[in-house]
Amino acid sequence: MEIAIGIILLVTFFAFIYYAAKGGNLLLGLFGMAILWSGLGAIGKAVDWETINMTIFQGGPEGFGPTAVNIIFGSWFGRILIETGIARTIIRRAVELGGDKPALTTILLSIVVTAIFTTAYGVGAVVAIGVIVFPIMLSLGISKPLATGTFAMSVGSGLYVNSALLTQAAGTMVIGEEQFNPLVPEWYRFAGIAVAIQVVAVILMVTLSVRKENKVKAWAVPTVDAGIDPEQSNANLLACITPILPVTFAIAFKFSAIVAIIVSVVWALFWTKNIKSWKGVATIVEKTFHDGVADVGLVLGFLLFLQMFIRSAGACKDLLAPIVSPIFPTNTLWLFVVFGLLSVLALFRGPMTIWGAGVATFVIIASTGLYPLAVLYPLFYIPATTITTSVCPTQSWNLWAIGYNKVGVKEFLTQVLAYILPVALILEIIAYFMFAA
């Protein structure tokens, strides 16, 4: 009986992969899977009503509370950077430094975007930065597919050290009550390497693509038409270091993620002269917090329903383990290499991304008991960040960028995949030697 239920669970797993890849609504899909796997677990006597009632559907969303708070604060910080003019100033300085060299200016803009999204988070922040950056790139003569791909990959580059996404992933990859803590020096060492490698990939893509197109035109520094109002004053240098402060505080002074963000917000408000009155501070804090929460509202809904499925899948692990344990490799290096080679399957919410059908893949692999969470976290985080958040057309901000520039999905993927897929493989191999060897 247990084996039969385990087989049915695997069948529904593959059905969910198909559903996700075809663009099905993931929020409702995950809720449906939580109900289905809870029911199958009950039939297989792995789950009782108390577990379904209190652990899966009540405890799942409640347990995600601390992670949700970190996501909200990260999104709020992104809005602070935009509202205070800090992001706009940094972008303007990059444009001035690049001068009339299109490839150099695009590369500098990419580095700036990466720096911003080491701490900023949320589709609202991405859109707000994108509407400034894209007109500049396009006025340089950069093609729309290249501009879109460069921006998307640059946003993704910063997310390896972004505490909001790191804690979000940690809250997704849970074994029992165990949760990996990525906000530690060991992870930041790997994340720094990951950022550097993906930035290098962006630089190569820009350099080679611009040379190949050979269609760039003479250009002067844009002003209003490029989305930067010349009447708006620049933030000073001390304000412009704000994007890197939360990560710096976390690494150098062991600040918690929220404390690091709050201190950085105070720093930003002070050096942009937004602390002139209590009423003024209250106004900007209320506005940015409201906008930040709105930016991630749908994401939080998805993640709360995801927790229900994770708990239901975890409860069914004893039904899955006897079937899947014998077929998974015991050689951990081979597992990391396979994930790197198959990272393309993280596209379209496929089986290699925890932001889609891959959450079921995680549960199935975790149910074998062969690999600790410290190994599984980097194994799954890499394709989810390198592929899904960086270039997948189903990621909300990538979809917005594609639509904003009126680029075809095929054009976009043709532009980025040759550069991003090797990054995923390289990072999986590096992660093996840093976390699993």
Q: How far is CA 13 from the centre of its chain?
A: 24
Site of tokens 């999905």: 409
Residue with tokens 């198959």: 342
Which of 425, 309, 422 is closest to 364 using CA atoms? 309
CA distance 56 to 4: 23
- Contacts of residue 235, defined as CB under 8 A and 6 or more positions apart, other chains included, come to 84, 85, 86, 89, 271, 272
| pLDDT tens digit sequence for 97-112 | 887 789 999 999 999 9
Q: What is the pLDDT of residue 315?
A: 85
For residue 84, what are its two tokens?
Answer: 């205070």
Cβ within 8 Å of residue 341, ≥6 positions away: 425
Amino acid 229: pLDDT: 53
| Spans in the chain with pLDDT lower than 70 | 214-233
Q: Name residue, tokens 């897929």.
A: 421
Q: What is the pLDDT of residues 58-79, one digit of tens each?
A: 998 998 888 889 889 989 998 9
The enclosing H or E element of 175 equals: strand 174-175
Give φ, ψ of 276 to 5 degrees.
Answer: -105, -25
Question: What range does the domain containing 173 cover?
Answer: 2-436
Q: Please give the Cα distance from 184 to 205 (Å, whole number).
A: 31
Domain count of the fold of the chain: 1
Give the model's pLDDT for residue 30. 86
Give yes or no for a contact between 139 and 225, defined as CB atoms under 8 angstroms apart: yes
Q: How far apart are CA 277 and CA 269, in angstroms?
A: 11
Give the CA diameter of the chain: 73
Quote the pLDDT of residue 232: 57
Can you tell me the distance from the alpha carbon of 295 to that of 73, in angstroms, rounded to the nearest whole number?
A: 11
**C-alpha dist (Å) from residue 249 to 48, 79, 84, 190, 257:** 45, 20, 21, 18, 9
